[in-house]
Amino acid sequence: MTALPNAAPSVSSAARAPLMGLLRFLLFAEAAAGLALAIGLSMVAGGSEVLGVTVGPESETSIRFAAGGAFLFAIFAAVAARGVRRRRGWAWTLSAMLQVIAAVGTGIAVIAAEWHPAYLVGFALAAVVMTVLSMAPVRRALGQD
């Protein structure tokens, strides 16, 4: 007699760890925010008046470096999201390091520029991602137990 295929529905990896989907969404949100920040900073450094901000030629280079850093952050956040999807152990480490970079970068922005309530988004997003990273199912799925 031939073996019959298993009629039981297979449990997808998303159903086993629903927080992994949330983590991927948050990392993609950080990647999108980093890309938007890089574009905005590049426009400010290029001389266009974005949000009423104008810069002098002495700070143009610093703003371009910040835009480059935001772009690299966006790339690494997208790579981390891809690693989370494939359940790679390095994705947990990269995601945690990105949250530290996001929090420190937001802190530097608070010190260097005038206070704006939008800075709270940077701190809040890093805190939420670190909370999700610290949960047992995520740590277990990414091999951090």
The structure tokens 């704006």 sit at: 116
Task: Going residue by residue through the chain, which has 145 residues, state the pLDDT in tens, using 9 for 90 and above.
Answer: 566 555 444 444 444 568 999 999 999 999 999 999 999 888 888 877 766 666 777 788 888 999 999 999 999 999 999 999 999 999 999 999 999 999 999 999 899 888 888 889 989 999 999 999 999 999 999 988 7
Spatial distance between the Cα atoms of 51 and 103, rounded to a whole number of angstroms: 23
Between CA 110 and CA 115, with CA 111 as vertex, the angle to 5 degrees is 40
Q: Which of 95, 76, 99 lies closest to 142 in space, CA to CA?
A: 95
The structure tokens 């530097």 sit at: 108
Between CA 94 and CA 102, with CA 99 as vertex, the angle to 5 degrees is 120
Between CA 3 and CA 9, with CA 4 as vertex, the angle to 5 degrees is 135
Convert the pLDDT of each residue in 39-79 to its tens digit: 988 888 887 776 666 677 778 888 899 999 999 999 999 99
